[in-house]
Every structure is written in C-alpha cells, then in structure tokens.
Amino acid sequence: MKRLFSGIQPSGDLHLGNYLGAIKQWVELQEGNDAVYCVVDLHAITVPQDPVALRKKTLEIAKIYLASGVDPKKATLFVQSHVSAHTELGWILNTIARMAELERMTQFKDKAQKGGASESGVGLFAYPVLMAADILLYDTEIVPVGKDQMQHIELARDLAERFNKRFGETFVIPEGNLSKEGALTMGPDDPSKKMSKSASSEYNYIALTDDADTVRRKIKKAVTDSGSEIVYADDKPALKNLINIYTLLSGKTPQEIQAMYVGRGYGDFKTDLAEVIVGFLSPFQERLAALSDDEVLTILKAGAEKVRPLAEAKLHQVYEKVGLVW
C-alpha cells in the first residue's frame, strides 16, 4: 500500500478534463492505496476570490469528488486550510526554494501575464512551494496529476532532496502518476489548447454540470481534422483528442473505436461521442444533487481530524531538523 496525495482548487467550474486527467485516477487509485485528497482552498486565494463564492465552491468541489466515486471509507478527503501544518511547512520550504526556479514555473507566467506580473501577489509567485508542502507533509509516494502539473512535482522532488541533503533524511521523494490518454485533455474547439475553465469560449470545455443539450451542442461544434476517416493518429490531433475522451468514458480502446467507424463519417462519430458523455454525466449529476452541504462538511471535518496527527508529526520532525523550539 502506497500513500498518495492530490488536490484541486475550488475556483471556476470543473470540467471533463479535470475528471479525466485527475479525479478518474483518484477513484481508481483509492483501491489498495492510502489515498489523501484535498480541496486546496489556500491555493485559490492567490488570485482575488469572492469570499461567499469561495465557501460555496469549496463544498461544491468536495461534492464533485464524492459524486465521482471518491469513497470516504477508502480515501481521506479534507480542506487544506483545516490543517494549518500545510502553511507552516510551506514557509519553511520557502526558505530553501530559489527565486530562479519559481520564476520558471509556467503557471505563474500564464496567470501573471493575464493580470500583469507587477500586480501579481507574492502568494501567486510562491504557491508552488505550498503545493510542495501539501505533498511532502504526508510522506507522499504517488501524486496523481495532469500533464500540466508535472513541473510542480519536479519542484517538490527538488525541495525534498535539497532539504534531506542539508538537514538529513526527512522527506519521501514523490513520483508523479499520469494516466496515458487523459494526461492532458484538449479543448474540443482547438486541439492545441488544453480544456480550461478559464477559456474565453464555452466550446473549449465540457463542464461537469453541463446538461445533455449543452453537451450535444458543444460536441457538434467540435473541430475535426482534414479528411473524413475516423483514425487515431498523431497527425490528426483534433480527432485523437476526441477519441481519447471516448476511450476514457466508454472503456473501449482507440483501436476498437476506430474499427466501429470504418466507412462512417464525423457526424456519426460526434453524435455517438456526445451520447457517451451524456451517459456519464447524467448519473454523475444525480449523485451530485443528492449530496447536502451538512453531509459533505461532516466528511471534510472527519478527514481533517484523521490527517492532522500525520501532518503535525511530520512538521515537528522538520522543526527538530531545522532547530526550531516547539
């Protein structure tokens, strides 16, 4: 049994790419592992948030975890800010992190460009260090992530190795775990851009709360490649992305899907893909609607109570190593 940790920010609407790239893995990996999953609300406030909306979204994200199949009997689910050791370890790791390595983080560059680097807060610049603290605090061995997060895993590994070298063996060196097809789901409207809740076009993503008609409309508008054959190939990136979605939701291999559409066109394929997505989302949305705020908050508080002793034990070990009195 291995310890694994992962989390998602409570900002924006989660979409199919979040599910395929991360949450689907979480559900699979909770079997036979010590799984720790988190709503990372402290990461969300690195950019301005409406306080009322943030509280609401935090519970909504937890509900999505649960409706997706994360089982509190098999995995631990909690809110990051409920365990103060995350920020305490984050500060200590800040003292060994280097400016140059944080300046290279692509997500900071992307967000800073949108708002202007000079106007960005220090929290946005340093949040990859807090992400490293989230991971290292629990002696995490596996981090199920999307492809766009692997740079953050490398930073966590670098900080762990640097700390261990300076102060003695303290942290486990984590490994990122990518699902092959769902590592990075691209937008149906543009296979060169990842599916994103902050995209300017609604056709870039399928929200987990989209109704059936919205899904059908978005998939009908999905771009395809030149030619008319349904082929799974690198030189057909738009079609390959759509087939990956079909594969991950249906359980069929790309080759099986390709064989299903010999002699058939994009219209048939997109119609069927839309129904596969609707077939996944409809029962998911029913489970989501059935979860109450009180029920979810009880689960989150119990999760925090469970992991807090683990977090504090590791934090005290770190305090001892760096020479702090506690």
Contacts of 277 (CB under 8 A, 6+ apart): 16, 206, 215, 219, 245, 249
Distance between CA 186 and CA 178 in Å, rounded?
15
Burial of 3 (0-12, 13-18, 19+ CB in 10 A): middle
Identify whether 194 is a catalytic site residue.
yes
Cβ atoms of residues 37 and 71 within 8 Å:
no
Output 226-231 pairs: Cβ under 8 A, ≥24 positions apart. 228/265, 228/266, 230/257, 230/258, 230/260, 230/261, 230/262, 230/264, 230/265, 230/266, 230/269, 231/258
**Catalytic entry in 24, 57, 63, 194:** 194
**Catalytic entry in 24, 111, 218, 236:** 111
**Catalytic entry in 74, 147, 197, 321:** 197
Q: 49 in helix, strand or coil? A: coil
Identify whether 24 is a catalytic site residue.
no
Identify whether 270 is a catalytic site residue.
no
Catalytic center residues? 111, 194, 197
